[in-house]
Amino acid sequence: MRLHLFVPFLLPVLGTALLLQALKEIPRALLTKFTLFSQYSAASTCRGNHNSTSVGSPVYCGVESCPLISAADTEILFGFSNIDPGDTAGYLAADHTNGLLIISFRHTMTMANVITDWTISQVDASAACSGCLAHKGYWSAAVAVGQVLKRPIRHAKARYPDYGLAVTGHSLGGALATLYAVSLRNEGYNADFYTFGAPSIGNYVFAEFITNMSDSDRGRNYRITHLNDEVPKVLYRTSRAPALNLVVAEYSQSGPEYWITSAFEEPVTTADIQVLEGVNNEGGNLGRELGSLRDHLWYFGPTSFCLMP
């Protein structure tokens, strides 16, 4: 008798729960895109993609295999290195198969890159958004490389007007990708970003501004994290820790976050990625107390294709 009363109520609840479970899985095509960009990101570690000799060649992956890049018709349009401050390196490439213009920034490989990472005081970033403060090292490096990329981007967009713009990078490269995507969007371009284990780039207002951009039609944010990766949360946690908060300015993280829950070197399925909306959502990487550096080094595959800077 009681049960009969409950069943009509339970069924919709169960149905909704199952539906929510199904909705949580990301589409297969998005997982493939994440894997493709993890390869474009790792390829930024190869010097062969940085210089003028590489222009016109396909994106190079060193000795590693990069099946998704190899399967595509790719072409380096512009390579850059030693951009100061920050010693930034990377490349701009066209992917004719997927209709994309990709800007990829290299992660920390040199002493100058380490100094950039550790220049954690904040500077005024009102050039990007009102009330925004940015990590000084990342901001200075992003502004400098943005100047260098102005003409190549304009030319590439003129040549391939229908291609989408996408910025990518791992770690330091992810911080630069975030800031550079914001600058492209502010210039009127539509630009997606795909970052892997990217540290915070600024204060709460900046994170909220970036999060809001993804909800509008300025380009999507794909801030991808892996399990307990220390790097995306270290500034967030440090700036909220007793005593440390007195010396470290407030740092936040933008949404949405795509949190990989597979273990190190385990294959990632669509069910292994959780989407966390909003600024500073602690339901994913930010919420796990102790960080791991090993989790930082693996995103769908190796985060580096070439070992020498």
Ligand X SMILES: *[C@@H]1O[C@H](CO)[C@@H](O)[C@H](O)[C@H]1NC(C)=O
Q: Which residues are catalytic?
A: 171, 229, 296
The C-alpha atoms of residue 187 and residue 291 are separated, in whole angstroms, by 36
209 is a contact residue toward ligand X (CB under 6 A): yes
Sole binder of ligand X in the list 26, 37, 45, 48 (CB under 6 A): 48
Which C-beta is closer to ligand X: that of 33 or that of 185?
185
208 is a contact residue toward ligand X (CB under 6 A): yes
Q: Which backbone phi and psi does 233 adopt, to 5 degrees?
A: -115, -5
Residues 49-88 interacting with ligand X (rule: CB under 6 A): 51, 53-54
Sole binder of ligand X in the list 30, 47, 64, 228 (CB under 6 A): 47
For residue 160, what are its two tokens? 């391939």
CB of 150 to ligand X, least distance (A): 23
Residues 168-207 interacting with ligand X (rule: CB under 6 A): 205
The SS3 assignment for 18 reads helix
Residues in the chain: 309
Neighbours of 92 (CB within 10 A): 22
Q: Where are the alpha helices (DSSP H) in the chain?
A: 2-24, 28-42, 67-70, 111-118, 136-159, 172-186, 204-215, 231-238
CB of 81 to ligand X, least distance (A): 7
Neighbours of 75 (CB within 10 A): 15
The C-alpha atoms of residue 39 and residue 66 are separated, in whole angstroms, by 6
270 is a contact residue toward ligand X (CB under 6 A): no
Name the one range near ligand X by CB under 6 A: 23-31, 46-54, 83-91, 222-230.
46-54
CB of 144 to ligand X, least distance (A): 19
Which C-beta is closer to ligand X: that of 208 or that of 295?
208
CB of 260 to ligand X, least distance (A): 27
45 is a contact residue toward ligand X (CB under 6 A): no
Bin 79: left if φ > 0, else alpha if -120 < ψ < 50, else beta.
beta
CB of 288 to ligand X, least distance (A): 26
Size of the site for ligand X (CB under 6 A): 9
Write the DSSP assignment of 95-157 as a string of letters: ETTTTEEEEEE--S-SHHHHHHHH---EEE-TTTSTT-EEEHHHHHHHHHHHHHHHHHHHHHH
Cis peptide, bond prior to residue 232, ω within 30 of zero: no
The C-alpha atoms of residue 40 and residue 173 are separated, in whole angstroms, by 11
256 is a contact residue toward ligand X (CB under 6 A): no
Sole binder of ligand X in the list 186, 212, 261, 270 (CB under 6 A): 212
Residues 119-158 interacting with ligand X (rule: CB under 6 A): none
CB of 54 to ligand X, least distance (A): 5
Residues that bind ligand X (CB under 6 A): 47-48, 51, 53-54, 205, 208-209, 212
